[in-house]
Amino acid sequence: MGAGSDAARPGRNLVFLGPPGSGKGTQAEILGKKLGVPAISTGEMLREAVAGGTELGKKVEGIMNSGALVDDDTMAEVVRERLERPDSRRGFVLDGYPRTLPQAETLAGILAGEGHALDAVVLIDAPEEELVDRALARRRADDKAEVVRERLRVYRQKTEPLVGYYEGLGLLRRVDGLGSIDAVSSRILGAIE
């Protein structure tokens, strides 16, 4: 595990897993800065594509607005291209990918192709009520109440199976997402040491 990663500063190929509203985007940014590696949010990348009116943006806009997932093949291309950029070579904090079991396998394949592997998967969790409240409070264009609920449903159905998958690989680190941003950051640092 972690073969080929920088021996002096190992353990920086990280995935953040958690339901919408769990705060994983915020925490991925903070941890990325701390570790000196990019925080890569696939949701953010797709929103930029939509805002920029690119081919990809046109393809995914309706899907995102419905709360559904973009197809695995499209996401594989997006992530492969991003992880091939030089700034990802020494580590990354992935936020929003993988979201399905096939995506987890794609990610493992991309990393294996470079002689790398994931070092840890941080699961940030919080009670459902808290998640809905938070998601509604920070509402973006694609965050209408029904869409928020749909995202949570899709998370439970498609993404939650990844918890068991990564647990089986010995990579899962569970972190309680309730409390201040700083409190959660400290827990995350403790969990990945």
Residues of this chain that interact with ligand ADP (CB under 6 A) are: 20, 25, 42-43, 46, 63-64, 67-70, 75, 96-97, 99, 103, 151
Q: What radius of gyration do the chain's Cα atoms show?
A: 16
Q: Does the annotation count 139 as an active-site position?
A: no
Q: Does the annotation count 173 as an active-site position?
A: no
Choose between 61 and 114: whose C-beta lies nearer to ligand ADP. Answer: 61
9, 33, 85, 140: which is the annotated catalytic residue? 140
The conformation of residue 161, written as its DSSP 8-state character, comes to H
Q: Does the annotation count 151 as an active-site position?
A: yes
Q: Does the annotation count 140 as an active-site position?
A: yes
The residue type found at 122 is V
Q: What is the DSSP string of 5-41?
A: S-SSS---EEEEE--TTSSHHHHHHHHHHHHTS-EEE
For the bound state, the minimum distance from the C-beta of residue 8 to ligand ADP, rounded and expressed in Å, comes to 31
Residue nearest to ligand ADP (CB): 43
What kind and span of H or E run contains 122?
A: strand 120-125
User: Is 103 exposed, middle or buried (CB count within 10 Å of its CB: 0-12, 13-18, 19+)?
Assistant: buried
For the bound state, the minimum distance from the C-beta of residue 100 to ligand ADP, rounded and expressed in Å, comes to 7
The conformation of residue 155, written as its DSSP 8-state character, comes to I
Q: Does the annotation count 82 as an active-site position?
A: no
The two structure tokens encoding residue 184: 């959660």
9, 33, 58, 138: which is the annotated catalytic residue? 138
CA of 76: how far to CAs of 13, 105, 132, 185, 189, in Å? 17, 10, 29, 29, 28
Choose between 14 and 75: whose C-beta lies nearer to ligand ADP. Answer: 75
For the bound state, the minimum distance from the C-beta of residue 10 to ligand ADP, rounded and expressed in Å, comes to 25
Choose between 25 and 32: whose C-beta lies nearer to ligand ADP. Answer: 25
Q: Any idea which residues carry the catalytic annotation?
A: 24, 99, 138, 140, 151
